[in-house]
Chain A
Amino acid sequence: MTILKRKSLVITALLLVLFASGYSFQKAREERTRKRATPTIGRTILSLNGGLPLRAEGPRYAPGQVLVRFKPSVSTQFVNATLARYDTKKIKRISHLNLYQVRIPDWASVEEMAYALSQNPDVMYAGPNYIARIMVTPNDLLFREQWALNNTGQKIDVPGAPSGKAQADIKATTGWEEAKGSAETVVAIIDSGIDFEHPDLKNKTVSRGRDFANEDWDATDDNGHGTYVAGVAAADTNNDEGIAGVAWNCLILPVKVADKEGIAFYSDLIDGILWAADNGADVINLSLGGDQPDDSLRDALRYAHDKDVVVAAAAGNDNTAVFYPAAYDAYCLAVAATDYNDERTDWSCFGPEVDVAAPGEFVLGTYPTYMTDMTAYLPYAFGSGTSASTPHVAGLAALIKGLKPWLTADEIMDVIRFSSDDVNSGEHSGRDDYIGYGRINMEKALVPIKLSK
């Protein structure tokens, strides 16, 4: 209590201005224009794979089949005789390559038959009939706008914005092949609340949350920032509309600490962190901060950390020293921002506390429906700031937590740090104060890494 009293005295000096003030919402585009161009959006576009995620699982090659490529000079008649000698049956011939898809007898394995055929002097190549799969790509209609998750070099749909550099992303589609998260993993969005009716969020919340700014039990967003952040972290994914969230299947615990002006008192922030840690949060996203240190804020972070809650906090958008609570290095991941070219943004805060970076410029997120002119706009917006970067990291932390619940918060933080791509190695090799260990990489953090001799 004494701590809180002290807090109330310094509250006016320590008002937190959400990094929302630094992030610029820009409406994705006018819905009318979009409707004219693609009148079927959200209506008649069919779900791929019956709405189910396409999973890259199962065998690596077709059982009982081998592909055999004969030398061009070998005649069809001779090929047929050769295949018969090996007790194989032709399924298909690809004449351009003199390539045969054959069924092998039950008594032989694919490897044995491929090896046996490859020893034949008339055969150029024999091997398994490998299986290719469509990458795990969600069917959310605006996924193509999410360069941060899958950057193909697409044009960013913001006036004046250039195309990004292909591969300058967090490798979400490959990461999702290994893990899409589980509903048991909860990401607390400690922010300005969320829009509970948003089509990409309404099925993703654990409860109505907690509102410390207005002292009630309904964390409805009256600013827009929290809704935006929540969508980047864990929007409903593969639901045929809107955007994809990093933590595909994880749930959101909304905790409102910032008012409609985007201002949060440290007291509410501390309350919010403690409450989230005590109410089932596995990961906490803090896309906010102030420039003043505070021991109680640090202790609240330590409390959450000691309960094995992973905390991701925005470094700040002022091109200055890292803000608080991100600067409490031992207890949270401080997140800087990179852009669509994998370059650090010139406004991202820096310092030894920066752990990692994530996309933070023109990032598409959810936006409250009741703050959107729904006749003209979709309830989504592009935003910029370390506020946008942080939920990428929180989402990844949630996926790791769901995949490996036995890991401690410290271990998950290390996994995220060390799996990052050192995208500014040309200027600063190794860990540096600008993007820390680098831009996060979901593939390396989640997918088994092949060991080679």
Chain B
Amino acid sequence: MRYRLILCCALIFVVLFALAPPAVGQARPDTESSSFRAGLSFGYLSRTLDLNEEVQDVIPKMTALLASLVLEYEFRPGFSLSAHVGYSSSTFDGLAFRRLPYSLEIDTDSGSIGGILLGAEVEKSVLGGAAFGVDIRGQFFASLGLNKEWKIPGLAVEGSAKGKPIWMKASVGPVLTYRGWEGVTPFLYPRFDYLWGNFELGQTVQDLKGSEKKDIKGKSPFALGLGADFEFSSSLRLRAEAGLHPRPNGIDYSFMVQTLLAL
């Protein structure tokens, strides 16, 4: 809850900041007016989950593959807003639902669950010099899971379970860029990165019915992104990023590749 509050404040700050006039000394030339870009984004994330439960036979985890169409609008150089629409495929491990009449467990053998992916991203240059720059970036993604149905094995009668995960991910932080190379801009993106949501699983075995909603959240609220923007031409850009999410006793990770073409 505390993290979500901080995150909301941070996102509001980013939006307000983005609407402010360009920074003094900003290095990027203001040669173009606003413009649209469109492209594709692919991502992967693997996050250890905190279920706030005492009994945990397996460390709960979520991995997700993300693919989305991206539409970016650049209000002015150094200030852009993007929207994502796409598909997510989430796999869970170690989720035990013990409040159902028959306790059920979702693990990697349970398969992936598809979902609609929606996202938004805002980025604004804050400081700029000849070689180094500082931007601020905020992102929000939501995966609205589609219902998946399983047969409950081993019972004397037919039984089924239906599950639907919904998760969200919000991150905000400064982007430290190096602009000294032609066509490649490496960056560091230390950020507050919060993942939360829920997984609702229903069960029907003849007249026996039950439903359980389990809150999930990522184990670590911080991440460090390492990546680069590749400007292949004035109209084609590719961004690649690897994210490291440190947590107690380990590290989670994520990857993202995004191409954008000027329209």
Chain A contacts to B: CB under 8 angstroms: 56-57, 59-60, 63-64, 107-110, 112, 178, 403-404, 406-407, 410-411, 414-415, 417-422, 430-431, 437-438, 444-453
From residue B111, how far is it (CB to closest CB) to chain A in Å? 3
Contacts of A112 in B (CB 8 A): 251, 253
Produce 1/0 per residue, B219-252, CB < 8 A to A. 0000000000000000000000000000001111
> Which residue of chain A is the closest to B149 with respect to CB atoms?
A451
Contacts of B161 in A (CB 8 A): 451
Q: Given A417-B156, A450-B104, 5 more contacts at CB 8 Å? A: A414-B207, A418-B157, A451-B153, A453-B109, A453-B150
Contacts of A178 in B (CB 8 A): 103
* Separation of A452 and B154 alpha carbons in the complex (Å): 12
Given contacts A63-B249, A112-B251, contact A447 B152 (CB under 8 A): no
Do residues B251 and A415 form an inter-chain contact, with CB atoms below 8 A?
no
* Separation of A449 and B210 alpha carbons in the complex (Å): 15
Do residues B103 and A449 form an inter-chain contact, with CB atoms below 8 A?
yes
What are 7 A-B contacts defined by CB distance under 8 Å? Answer: A56-B57, A107-B251, A403-B98, A414-B101, A448-B104, A449-B102, A449-B104
> Which residue of chain A is the closest to B209 with respect to CB atoms?
A411
From residue A418, how far is it (CB to closest CB) to chain B in Å? 5
Do residues A449 and B251 form an inter-chain contact, with CB atoms below 8 A?
no
B110 within 8 A of A: yes
Contacts of B153 in A (CB 8 A): 449-452
* Separation of A415 and B57 alpha carbons in the complex (Å): 23
Do residues A404 and B101 form an inter-chain contact, with CB atoms below 8 A?
yes
From residue B223, how far is it (CB to closest CB) to chain A in Å? 14
Contacts of B253 in A (CB 8 A): 112
Contacts of A437 in B (CB 8 A): 156-157
B55 within 8 A of A: yes
From residue A194, how far is it (CB to closest CB) to chain B in Å? 32
Do residues B207 and A451 form an inter-chain contact, with CB atoms below 8 A?
no
Do residues B205 and A418 form an inter-chain contact, with CB atoms below 8 A?
yes
Do residues B156 and A448 form an inter-chain contact, with CB atoms below 8 A?
no
CB contacts under 8 Å to A, within B99-115, are 99, 101-107, 109-111
Do residues B110 and A453 form an inter-chain contact, with CB atoms below 8 A?
yes
Contacts of B98 in A (CB 8 A): 403-404, 448
- The number of chain B residues with a CB under 8 A from chain A is 36
Do residues B111 and A453 form an inter-chain contact, with CB atoms below 8 A?
yes
Do residues A414 and B251 form an inter-chain contact, with CB atoms below 8 A?
no
In-complex Cβ contact of A422 among B105, B152, B156, B206 (8 A)? B156
B58 within 8 A of A: yes
Contacts of A57 in B (CB 8 A): 55, 57
In-complex Cβ contact of A418 among B96, B150, B206 (8 A)? B206
Do residues A448 and B97 form an inter-chain contact, with CB atoms below 8 A?
yes
CB contacts under 8 Å to A, within B140-163, are 150, 152-157, 159, 161
B6 within 8 A of A: no
Do residues A452 and B110 form an inter-chain contact, with CB atoms below 8 A?
yes
Do residues B96 and A448 form an inter-chain contact, with CB atoms below 8 A?
yes
* Separation of A407 and B99 alpha carbons in the complex (Å): 9
> Which residue of chain B is the closest to A104 with respect to CB atoms?
B250
From residue B160, how far is it (CB to closest CB) to chain A in Å? 10
Do residues B156 and A415 form an inter-chain contact, with CB atoms below 8 A?
no
From residue B28, how far is it (CB to closest CB) to chain A in Å? 35
Contacts of B96 in A (CB 8 A): 448
CB contacts under 8 Å to A, within B148-200, are 150, 152-157, 159, 161
From residue A47, how far is it (CB to closest CB) to chain B in Å? 24
Contacts of A418 in B (CB 8 A): 102, 155-157, 159, 205-206, 208
CB contacts under 8 Å to A, within B72-108, are 96-99, 101-107
Contacts of A60 in B (CB 8 A): 57-59
* Separation of A4 and B109 alpha carbons in the complex (Å): 59
* Separation of A60 and B94 alpha carbons in the complex (Å): 10
* Separation of A450 and B156 alpha carbons in the complex (Å): 16
Do residues A110 and B250 form an inter-chain contact, with CB atoms below 8 A?
yes
Contacts of A445 in B (CB 8 A): 102
> Which residue of chain B is the closest to A417 with respect to CB atoms?
B156
Of the listed residues A407, A419, A422, the one surrounded by the most CB atoms of chain B closer than 10 A to its CB is A419
> Which residue of chain B is the closest to A437 with respect to CB atoms?
B156
From residue A188, how far is it (CB to closest CB) to chain B in Å? 23
From residue A128, how far is it (CB to closest CB) to chain B in Å? 11
Do residues A452 and B155 form an inter-chain contact, with CB atoms below 8 A?
no
> Which residue of chain B is the closest to A452 with respect to CB atoms?
B109
Do residues B156 and A438 form an inter-chain contact, with CB atoms below 8 A?
yes
CB contacts under 8 Å to A, within B102-142, are 102-107, 109-111
Of the listed residues B98, B104, B107, the one surrounded by the most CB atoms of chain A closer than 10 A to its CB is B98
* Separation of A109 and B252 alpha carbons in the complex (Å): 8
* Separation of A60 and B56 alpha carbons in the complex (Å): 9
Contacts of A410 in B (CB 8 A): 207
* Separation of A110 and B249 alpha carbons in the complex (Å): 9
From residue B47, how far is it (CB to closest CB) to chain A in Å? 11
In-complex Cβ contact of A419 among B99, B104, B156, B207 (8 A)? B156
Do residues A444 and B104 form an inter-chain contact, with CB atoms below 8 A?
no
* Separation of A445 and B98 alpha carbons in the complex (Å): 11
* Separation of A447 and B57 alpha carbons in the complex (Å): 11
Contacts of A444 in B (CB 8 A): 102, 154-155
Given contacts A108-B251, A418-B155, A448-B103, contact A59 B205 (CB under 8 A): no
From residue B255, how far is it (CB to closest CB) to chain A in Å? 13
From residue A355, how far is it (CB to closest CB) to chain B in Å? 11
* Separation of A59 and B249 alpha carbons in the complex (Å): 12
* Separation of A109 and B245 alpha carbons in the complex (Å): 11
Of the listed residues B59, B101, B106, B205, the one surrounded by the most CB atoms of chain A closer than 10 A to its CB is B101
